[in-house]
Chain A
Amino acid sequence: MKKSWMIAAVAAAMLMSGCSQKEPEVDMTKQAASQETAAPAVTEADHGLSTVAGGEEVSDISTLPEDARMAQIKAIEAEAKKIYFDFDKYNIRPDQEPNVDYDADLFSSDKAKDLTIKIEGNCDEWGTDEYNYALGLKRAKTVRDALAVKGIDNSRMVMVSYGESNPVCTEHTKECWAKNRRVEFELLP
């Protein structure tokens, strides 16, 4: 039995070498194909994980490095607190100061300290035209200045006003308008 294997192997080797001299390219593909089909040496690496009890298996296999970073940035963004304003005003209300402190700490933390902070000023639907956009911008600026006082570098911060164009609430109620008069943050890598 063993002998016949040997003969077969030698014959195969001779056949291959003979072929390779004549038509190397065809031979190469044949060789690759034969290796693929005859790949018996598969080692199980589950280490018995299939039988471990528990929930869904996760190891960030689908998350590329940049996506992971973006997801992390979005998570920090979601953590940031919005700053709310009074009607037609752009000064920071006393009740909003703790939120500014919180945001300053968050943005200077290790996980966020390399990010650019885009400060977005927003207004309710009650202003018209340019004045509303300017009001949104002044709101962004007061927040930027407050963050700068708390140690955030000015060069890390950019401001944009969205005026009344980005409402979080679209009902026509006082409560709803109050929710729209806000500064929120977008973090950029």
Chain B
Amino acid sequence: MRIFLLMMLGLFLYGSDATLEIIKSADNRPNVVMQDASTFGNDLIKQKFFRLLVGDFKVSAHFKVDATYRQAGYEDMVDPMLKSSDYLVRYRFREGEGQALFMDMRAYALPAADIIYERSYRVANRARYPFLIHQALIDFNDFLKMPSVAWMKRYVVFSEYTRPKNADIVVADYTLTYRKTLVSGGLNIFPKWADRQQQGIYYTKVGKRRPVLYHFNIYTGQQRKVATSDGMLVCSDVSRDGRRLLLTMAPDGQPDIYQYDTTSGMKQRLTFYSGIDVSAQYIDGERRIVFVSDRLGYPNIFASKIGSRAVQQLVFHGKNNNACSAHGKYIVYSSRESDNAFSANTFNLYLISTQTDYIRRLTASGVNQFPKFSDDGESVMYIKHYASQSALGIIRLDYNEGFLFPLKGRRIQSIDW
């Protein structure tokens, strides 16, 4: 009874505030074991596909997945040794006509070894294989009536440095395994999704004399100029209905935050400080904004009501909190831990809420930067540098779990999810 009460309390707390860390939770997630029956690809490719599938299972946080790579024929009998798990997932990648690639996935309930689930998926180009895997996982997760992980098939857009003063805008799957360059040539930075359906992006092209903000339709390739400003111009957030933008503009070299109405073209200045005000994002029903400012002599996180000049300090810890991402009432920010900028343990991510005073630390080691909330606010994506390796990290806030995907030699400028 006492355990039951504790669990209820735990559930209540986690339902109410994500800044509270779950120290211990009763782990009743189903055990999943996998078998590869692929006819496509060499061992290297098979391992790659397997690792991505394991990654998806882990990132969903709904399964305890056995990461041992096993092979079997698609129609083979179920090995009795595996029957201690809850489900056996057997999958097969097979070649299609041209560049097409198929994935078949079947699940057996154990120990009975009944086939309870079977689906097939196809992509026209095998380079898109990550989306086969994400879709397969989303559907299997739905079939088991787990909370949706449909966000896995959403695109990520990022800007990547190619050489000095040059960066490309690239669209990718959430693990950055699949990538397609959208804009190249010159310095193209700060991509931001323009609408929730991910039809278009805003991005900044730094021209010879001044930066220009463009809207780019990712399906038609059509591009139109939205605004231009001296020195600096960044679209840091888009309202849920896509009609208002938060821009950092710097007329006369002074970076301040402006709200831009896409229908009327009117700009409203929101901050009035002579130092740096950047990275504004909507919070609390888009009535307020959170932003990064150096008004205390070092970068920190502040909030302000739209239309009011009063500014509220949100974070009272850390020496350098220079990047943040917001979703509803939650804000995740990156904080430099010590005055020594060059020590091994440099930047960590923290989660706060505008409604409470709690701070939850999300990372423990390395340089953790570029935090970005997922569209549903349940996950945070970030870039981790640790011991000369880089990785893309995903933190599942409600589950207190994280997963890292390796990133080889990419220099990310900015990322949006």
| Interface set of A (CB-CB < 8 Å, partner B) | 87-88, 118, 126-135, 137-138, 140-141, 144, 158-163, 165-167, 174, 188
Whether the Cβ atoms of B231 and A137 lie closer than 8 Å is: yes
B166-191 interface with A by 8 A CB criterion: 166-167, 187, 189-190
Q: Does B414 contact A (CB under 8 A)?
A: yes
Contact of B413 among A87, A159, A165 (CB under 8 A): A165
**A129 to chain B: which residues have CB within 8 Å?**
279, 322-323, 369-370, 414
| Interface set of B (CB-CB < 8 Å, partner A) | 161, 164-167, 187, 189-190, 206, 208-211, 230-232, 234, 236, 248, 250, 252-255, 275-279, 292, 298-299, 320, 322-323, 334, 341-342, 347, 369-370, 413-414
Whether the Cβ atoms of A128 and B323 lie closer than 8 Å is: yes
Whether the Cβ atoms of B234 and A131 lie closer than 8 Å is: no
**10 residue pairs, one from A and one from B, having the closest CB atoms:** A141-B253, A130-B278, A131-B322, A128-B369, A134-B255, A134-B276, A159-B231, A128-B323, A130-B279, A134-B278
What would 19 A/B residue contacts be, using CB atoms closer than 8 Å? Answer: A88-B341, A128-B347, A129-B279, A130-B279, A130-B323, A130-B414, A133-B278, A134-B232, A137-B253, A137-B255, A140-B253, A144-B253, A158-B210, A161-B232, A162-B187, A162-B206, A163-B189, A165-B165, A188-B208
Whether the Cβ atoms of B248 and A134 lie closer than 8 Å is: yes
Bound complex: CA A188 to CA B207 (Å): 13
Bound complex: CA A162 to CA B167 (Å): 11
Bound complex: CA A137 to CA B234 (Å): 13
Whether the Cβ atoms of A131 and B292 lie closer than 8 Å is: yes
The main secondary structure of chain A at its interface with chain B is: mixed
Bound complex: CA A141 to CA B342 (Å): 27
Whether the Cβ atoms of B255 and A87 lie closer than 8 Å is: no
Whether the Cβ atoms of B230 and A158 lie closer than 8 Å is: yes
Q: How far is the CB of B209 from the nearest CB of chain A, in Å? A: 5
Whether the Cβ atoms of A174 and B231 lie closer than 8 Å is: no
Whether the Cβ atoms of B189 and A165 lie closer than 8 Å is: yes
Whether the Cβ atoms of A130 and B187 lie closer than 8 Å is: no
Whether the Cβ atoms of A137 and B250 lie closer than 8 Å is: yes
Q: How far is the CB of A49 from the nearest CB of chain B, in Å? A: 43
Q: How far is the CB of A68 from the nearest CB of chain B, in Å? A: 21
**B166 to chain A: which residues have CB within 8 Å?**
165
Chain A residue nearest in CB terms to B190: A130
Contact of B276 among A126, A128, A135, A188 (CB under 8 A): A135
Bound complex: CA A87 to CA B190 (Å): 23
Whether the Cβ atoms of B165 and A118 lie closer than 8 Å is: no
Q: How far is the CB of A176 from the nearest CB of chain B, in Å? A: 11
Whether the Cβ atoms of A131 and B253 lie closer than 8 Å is: no
